[in-house]
Amino acid sequence: MKKIIYTFILAGIAMLSSCLGDLDQLPHVENTSKDVYAEATNYKAVLAKLYAAFYIAGQEKGGNNPDLDSNSGQDYMRCYFNLQECGTDELASTWLEGDKVGDLTYLSWDANDPWVSDMYYRIFYNIALCNEFLRNAGEEQIAKFTESEQADIRNYRAEARFLRAFAYYHALDLFRNIPFVTENDPVGTFIPPRYEAKQVFEFIETELEQIDNDLLSRSECEYGRAPKAAAYALMAKLYLNAKVYINEDRYSDCITYCKRVIAEGYTLEPEYHKLFNADNHKRTNEIIFAFPVDATYTVSWGTTTYIVCGAVSNTSDYQKPGDYGVTSGWGSFRVRGDIPKLFTNGDKRAMFFTEGQTLDVDVVENQSNGYFVTKWTNLTDAGEQASNTADGGVNTDFPVFRLADVYLMLGEAVARGGAGSSATEALGYMNEIRMRAFGDTYETIGKLNESQLDEEFYLKERARELYWECTRRTDLIRYNSFTTADYLWQWKGGEKVGRAVADKYNNYPIPATDLTANPNLYNENY
């Protein structure tokens, strides 16, 4: 079967409070925790919900019976994609007013922005789910089960801790100083303390270290669940950005964890485009961890449906939705002119629809301004439409971590002075990526030498390899380029030629509603 079929016993999960002033409150369920956790088999079903909460918005098809009563009601990954991509050189949104993404696009949001708010509450809803699972998965609680059942639950418990660390990583990356709660805090009237970035960083680091022995290896792990290598990849990202988060150089640690991922035996997928089609669940050679999106079992109008359908025009006389496995296009976004200019002729990763389109974006809302991105599709390997996207969305999974990103992290960490690898080793990995990208023209056009592998190379190569994979905002901040005048792109700061903005926009603000609910919280500069 193509996907894991998730089954939910927490069908009665409703919304958390719209303000989530108490971030560790119990989800409202039809059954009590005592009922749910009475049987060992139920633990896996609850674990499935912890995963699914990252890419579906509710308990029924397409997000009906929603988890949260929020401003837009979108799923976690739709929010995350917007916050990571909308304000960067990688995206020009069409429906600025209708989708309320104008402030994200122009780097001018405030503490009342609906997408910032939705992302914040999605993160802490997922953390609350993980905390509740962990409250019921301690050694004392599982002692009543058989040894085999206990062993399985220890694996599930490690995965829940990974997912919580993953959510806290997003909170750290997006918001920096945040409320903090774990399964050890009381339920009910507890008001979470404000943790500064260093405290959150250290928590994530410790969690990922402690769960290593209980996570499954890639050969033992079902598709859609997180193996050990997923935790290693997350740790590498944490360390690569440590200078931003905690003002500490941790590039050597980044290299250590990149090499742990590599040691797990992953290899690059020979055909780049197959990493982003409807059969990409078959690419476990490169994809380390993915969010499964399925037009029958995990229907989402966000996640990859948003990306695939959103990148197909609904006004073009030239672009045909069926060429991408889409029933109809949404025309939601294109790429700003700066990104296509990074590619050289022969680079097969430059997947843009250009006919009838201008390269430069003179009017952000004009669908004919900027190229459409064709990297993501709902086509099978055979070139057939995988699903009726108008009824069930796409069948394309979202790769959360993949090997090429790990190679790029290692290379950048080397370029920044990290120990544990070398420019020669990094060159080998970069040329593996380039060989795939350039194919027959690799030797004449694509091949690199060590002198080219400076820090700036990696920022550009990450854009070429990872565009629209939710890395760009974080990368630009790490290079001190997101808010400053060091790098200007079209419509940065709301001007066609681009302009610098206040450095407060390197972080998103805690929503005003939670500032009201939790007196421990405050925003700097907002």
Count of CB atoms within 10 A of residue 7's CB?
12
* Nearest-angstrom CA–CA distance, 104 and 91: 11
Which pTM does this prediction carry?
0.94
Written as tens digits, the pLDDT of the chain (526 aa) is 444 434 333 333 332 333 334 444 444 445 677 889 999 999 999 999 999 999 999 888 888 888 988 778 889 999 999 999 999 999 999 999 999 999 999 999 999 999 999 999 999 999 999 999 999 999 999 999 999 999 999 999 999 999 999 999 999 999 999 999 999 999 888 999 999 999 999 999 999 999 999 999 999 999 999 999 999 999 999 999 999 999 999 999 999 999 999 999 999 999 999 999 999 999 999 999 999 999 999 999 999 999 999 999 999 999 999 999 999 999 999 999 999 999 999 999 999 999 999 999 999 999 999 999 999 999 999 999 999 999 999 999 999 999 999 999 999 999 999 999 999 999 999 999 999 999 999 999 999 999 999 999 999 999 999 999 999 999 999 999 999 999 999 999 999 999 999 999 999 999 999 999 999 999 999 9
**Residue 444 DSSP one-character state:** I
The fold adopted by the segment(s) 33-215 is 1.25.40
Q: What is the SS3 assignment for 183? A: coil
Q: Which two tokens mark 511? A: 């929503």
* Alpha-carbon distance values, 494 to 27, 104, 228, 272, 333 (Å): 40, 10, 42, 34, 17
Residue ranges of domains in the chain: 33-215
Q: Which two tokens mark 444? A: 């004449």
* Nearest-angstrom CA–CA distance, 470 and 255: 21
Q: What is the SS3 assignment for 88? A: coil
Nearest to 300 by CA among 56, 20, 116: 56
